[in-house]
Structure 1
């Protein structure tokens, strides 16, 4: 079920932070009739209830302290918590699933950053909110996403995006304009003083991950997850 999973323990607080990215064995697209069953299966596998949001490619970051019932997901593209035993989930199919943690402080965050979110710098905003909640030494796991060699865009869009985030300027493997959202988000995090761990590869190239660029409207969704045990 998981393309990647990592656990880290703090030396002082002895809290354990768990990070996971699901693979295509789960479809968390959220519009299917069986989504409640899929979500319940995931929570059972993790052993924690989940909080999630209705993602809109914006820059809203919410602080949560309890699971969010089906049908009541607030509009946001990032969640932050210091509540033990509460999992945070973001869903993607090419965008960057970003999870963050200060293991010592027990503060974690989950971010959905596509091209619009990167331009709005939602990653840095999530870091700021985590620091408001007591985090200081933050690490970030940058999950699988469409790579710059595959994310073709019009030339004008590349120019507009790279004017805001120069590190996102890229070219496809076939020589056309593209945007590297992962490189852009990584640069934003590093400027914010965050340690970045790169996880996984390109969603368009990896058949084991959902990709909207590859599969269009038939694409499912996979998830980035983080929680404090």
Structure 2
């Protein structure tokens, strides 16, 4: 099985599918080339679409995909074209998938800096720029606020920008809840969201950098449209 979760949404221009990959696949930049290539080939076979990756840099750049070549520095992808599978990779950060009723789609990698700087909001705005009406979101597996311990100064900095991120670990130390921050940003943008999956650190069904360090692979949120 390629996906731990998969859902299908009818849109005006066909059907959009959203999915999150399972741990057997490692799609990270540090994975051996043949391992990542095998994972992408499996996604292509499962979706019937061409997978498109971005080089994620913890920023707010949104890249519009108009062809299937390239590997842009970005943390969000959008397209209104069928046959392209957009991927947002993560191993504790928040992968977010966006779907508009017109069939425009987006994939967002929301890490700590991306949440603080508003990458999800930027992606929603860009999707609407492609004519997307009534966008919806799927928020994938990520580290929970009870596990994501950070220095107090870091919590204060991020929470000053996105108050919903303020959290405390289960053992009583400062933490960030990036998922809560993303959900708050989506709500503020008028985008209903579905939460998918649990905490990546706690559940070994997912890749987790917090749990496994440099050895962690990367899962992916995947979204594609079929005419």
TM-score normalized by structure 1? 0.95
Runs (5+) with no aligned partner, structure 2: none
Q: How does 1:41-52 map to 2 (within 5 A)?
A: 41-52=42-53
Rounded to whole Å, the distance in 1 between the matches of 2:213 and 2:159 is 25
Give the equivalent residue in structure 1 for 2:219. 222
Following superposition, the deviation at residue 3 of structure 1 comes to: 1.3
Rounded to whole Å, the distance in 1 between the matches of 2:46 and 2:55 is 23
Q: How does 1:79-228 map to 2 (within 5 A)?
A: 79-102=77-100, 104-228=101-225
Tell whether the 8 Å contact from 2:13 to 2:103 is kept in structure 1 after alignment.
no
Runs (5+) with no aligned partner, structure 1: none
Of stretches 33-42 and 199-208 in structure 1, the one that deviates more from structure 2 is: 33-42
Give the equivalent residue in structure 1 for 2:73. 75
Tell whether the 8 Å contact from 2:47 to 2:224 is kept in structure 1 after alignment.
no
Tell whether the 8 Å contact from 2:140 to 2:221 is kept in structure 1 after alignment.
yes
Give the equivalent residue in structure 1 for 2:59. 58
Rounded to whole Å, the distance in 2 between the matches of 1:39 and 1:197 is 25
Following superposition, the deviation at residue 51 of structure 1 comes to: 1.4
Q: Which runs of at least 4 in structure 1 moved beyond 4 Å after TM superposition?
A: none
Aligned residue for 1:21, secondary structure, equals: strand
Rounded to whole Å, the distance in 1 between the matches of 2:177 and 2:193 is 16
Following superposition, the deviation at residue 14 of structure 1 comes to: 5.2
Aligned residues: 223
Aligned residue for 1:217, secondary structure, equals: helix
